[in-house]
């Protein structure tokens, strides 16, 4: 039984499965009364959402489409501080189920062979005193082809290996890893997490394109701040890039 793979105390202890939804993030938003750590997972999303207002191709059963409802006790300075934690958990989980070389494209795309295999959309919901964070995670597992609009930049585990992967196994690995990282993050912030993130971050040491509000600029990415913001050199000036609505790409290709 795959159920035994889940070793968590709170993440995924309440999991709700759906055949078809518009977006698991939307379902989570409508279920804020559910316990901390509740997971919403769907076979198919008809209106999957990505960062910066993009859509996320997920109208198929080949990927893991899930959202985690978190109700942090500690004052999280911002949602952005949590996204690298989730990114690192996905990276660890993918490494656990395969022996492939994944990396993180800042802020939190997971990349395999220079193509995107996972995207993360964390959204905060603030109602009066209560704060919830919804972490939506999309991982391409068993697709053999992609819509032509993303075919150049997207990949799946199956495309890279020819093997078929078990979604539930990956979900449980991810929840196990995320719970460990989340507890550390809740107690210590990013202090213990940043080094592993940096070691796996493919953006550092690269010339990149930064796109924000329809404007594009180039810069050299040289480090991260203690809050995981990107430090860049732009025409000889040091600048901090906040993940919010920014999209970052290599100057020649996706990474």
Question: Any residues with CB less than 8 A from the CB of 80 and at least 6 apart, and which?
Answer: 107, 122, 227, 228, 229, 242, 243, 244
Q: Under the criterion CB under 6 A, does residue 143 sit at the interface with ligand BTN? A: no
Asked whether 103 and 117 are in contact (CB, 8 A), the reply is no
Binding segment (CB under 6 A) for ligand BTN, from list 132-140, 154-162, 186-194, 214-222: 132-140
Q: Which of 11, 12, 24, 200 binds ligand BTN (CB under 6 A)?
A: 24
* DSSP E strands, the chain: 15-21, 39-45, 63-70, 102-105, 109-112, 115-127, 130-140, 206-212, 215-224, 230-234, 237-241, 247-250
Nearer to ligand BTN, 134 or 190 (CB): 134
Calpha distance 113→49 (Å, rounded): 24
Per the rule left: phi > 0, alpha: psi between -120 and 50, beta: everything else, 252 is alpha
Residue 22 Cβ vs ligand BTN, minimum distance, rounded to whole Å: 8
Q: Which of 11, 37, 51, 159 binds ligand BTN (CB under 6 A)?
A: 51
Asked whether 105 and 111 are in contact (CB, 8 A), the reply is yes
Question: Which tokens belong to 150?
Answer: 């993303």
Site string for ligand BTN, 57-96 (x = CB under 6 A): -x------xxx-----------------------------
Q: Under the criterion CB under 6 A, does residue 25 sit at the interface with ligand BTN? A: yes
What is the 8-class DSSP label of residue 123? E
Q: Which of 105, 136, 190, 202 binds ligand BTN (CB under 6 A)?
A: 136
Nearer to ligand BTN, 49 or 167 (CB): 49
Residue 216 Cβ vs ligand BTN, minimum distance, rounded to whole Å: 18
Interface residue list for ligand BTN (CB under 6 A): 23-25, 45, 48-51, 54, 56, 58, 65-67, 109, 119-121, 136-138
């Amino acid at each position: 039984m795959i159920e035994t793979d889940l070793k968590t105390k709170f993440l995924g202890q309440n999991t709700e499965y759906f055949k078809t939804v518009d977006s698991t993030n939307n379902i989570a938003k409508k279920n804020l009364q559910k316990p901390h750590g509740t997971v919403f997972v769907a076979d198919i999303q008809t209106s999957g959402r990505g960062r910066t207002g993009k859509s996320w191709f997920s109208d198929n059963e080949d990927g893991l489409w899930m959202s985690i409802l978190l109700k942090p006790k500690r004052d999280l300075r911002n949602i952005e501080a949590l996204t690298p934690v989730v990114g690192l958990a996905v990276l660890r989980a993918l490494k656990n189920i395969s022996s492939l070389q994944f990396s993180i494209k800042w802020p939190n795309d997971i990349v395999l062979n220079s193509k995107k295999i996972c995207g993360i959309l964390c959204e905060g919901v603030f109602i009066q005193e209560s704060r919830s964070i919804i972490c939506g995670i999309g991982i391409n597992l068993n697709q053999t082809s992609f819509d032509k609009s993303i075919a150049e930049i997207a990949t799946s585990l199956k495309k890279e290996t020819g093997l078929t992967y078990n979604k539930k196994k990956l979900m449980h690995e991810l929840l196990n890893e995320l719970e460990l990282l989340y507890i550390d993050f809740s107690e210590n912030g990013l202090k213990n997490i940043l080094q592993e993130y940096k070691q796996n971050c493919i953006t550092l040491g690269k010339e990149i394109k930064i796109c924000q509000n329809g404007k594009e600029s180039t810069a050299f990415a040289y480090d991260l701040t203690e809050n995981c913001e990107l430090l860049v050199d732009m025409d000889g000036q040091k600048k901090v890039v906040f993940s919010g609505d920014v999209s970052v790409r290599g100057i020649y290709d996706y990474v």
